[in-house]
Structure 1
Amino acid sequence: MGTLVTLHLPPGSPIAEQPWVITIGSLDDLEEWEPIVCGPYEHQHALALARAVVSDDDLMAVVEPMLPLDGVDAIRKEIELARAAAEGPDAEDLGARMPQEYPGTPPEPAEVQAGWRRIAGKLTA
């Protein structure tokens, strides 16, 4: 069994609405291959897919949001926000190893493709 790492989001967090990616790599140093990054996915799809992949293999999956930022200034602003948050009183509580609730079975390819269309709609709106 592998490991799934993701952010712990409070209910209703707007971050859940962002596109998410999954980075999958070896759980130990014995295997030498480059991790793969897949996505974007909707939050629940990413969690379900990552969970299914690591459930029966010694892999690590990191599920994290993508920030569709449209330029250098937007990226710098996000970096400033992240640095400020890390200096705050809850700096140790930025992430958790396991999400509190998992979605059910992994989505079918048609469901993932429908998710991609919804993500594309959000990004181009």
Structure 2
Amino acid sequence: MGALVTLELPAGSPQLDLPWIITFGPLDDEEEWEPVVCGPYERAHALALAQHVVADEDLMAVVEPLLPATSIEQINGEIAVARRLAAEAADEIDEIDDALDDDAEHDHDHDHDHDHEHDEDEDGHAAPEPPTEAELKAAFARISARLTA
């Protein structure tokens, strides 16, 4: 039997009306293959499909909303929220670990020495300009038309 992971959202949450995707991947670290992403679906359909696929398989299914971000700032905001939530979760885990084992030493020193080059890709080509909100919305309409044709 596999595992299904999704967001617990309150009734009336605006995210419930977004398109949802399912990412299927291996349940354990012993099996290695690229995850499979399916969708978009309505949330109820995504949950039902994921539940049926993982019912008899050792798979993990992550069901999450597909955020139609229309600006770099909006994408960066979503990333910032995700990072903040991950940091808060890590802090909670650390507090629990400290409470369970007062003698344990926890090293939280992380050295991030990355060379970030944002202007060129690996082949030395200039990065394309990000699409505008209007271009993204037009693309959403094209994708929707392809999915319903």
Structure-2 residue corresponding to 1:49 = 49
Q: Is 2:144 the counterpart of 1:120?
A: yes
What is the Cα-based RMSD across aligned positions, in Å? 2.8
Q: TM-score, with normalisation over the residues of structure 2?
A: 0.54
CA shift, 1:86, in A, is: 6.7
Structure-2 residue corresponding to 1:95 = none
- Could you list the runs of 5+ residues in structure 2 that have no partner in the other structure? 93-140
Structure-1 residue corresponding to 2:60 = 60
Which string of whole-angstrom CA distances, capped at 9 and with x for unpartnered residues, describes residues 40-72 of structure 1?
A: 111101000000000111111000111101121
Structure-2 residue corresponding to 1:18 = 18
CA shift, 1:84, in A, is: 6.2
How many residues matched? 94
Q: TM-score, with normalisation over the residues of structure 1?
A: 0.63
CA shift, 1:76, in A, is: 2.1
CA shift, 1:78, in A, is: 3.0
- Could you list the runs of 5+ residues in structure 1 that have no partner in the other structure? 93-116
Identity level (%): 61
Change (3 A) 1:34 1:82: closer
- Structure 1 residue ranges (4+ consecutive) displaced by more than 6 angstroms after TM superposition: 84-88
* Equivalent AA in structure 2 for residue 21 of structure 1: I
Structure-2 residue corresponding to 1:39 = 39
* Equivalent AA in structure 1 for residue 66 of structure 2: M
CA shift, 1:81, in A, is: 4.7
CA shift, 1:39, in A, is: 0.7
SS of 1:73 mapped into structure 2: helix
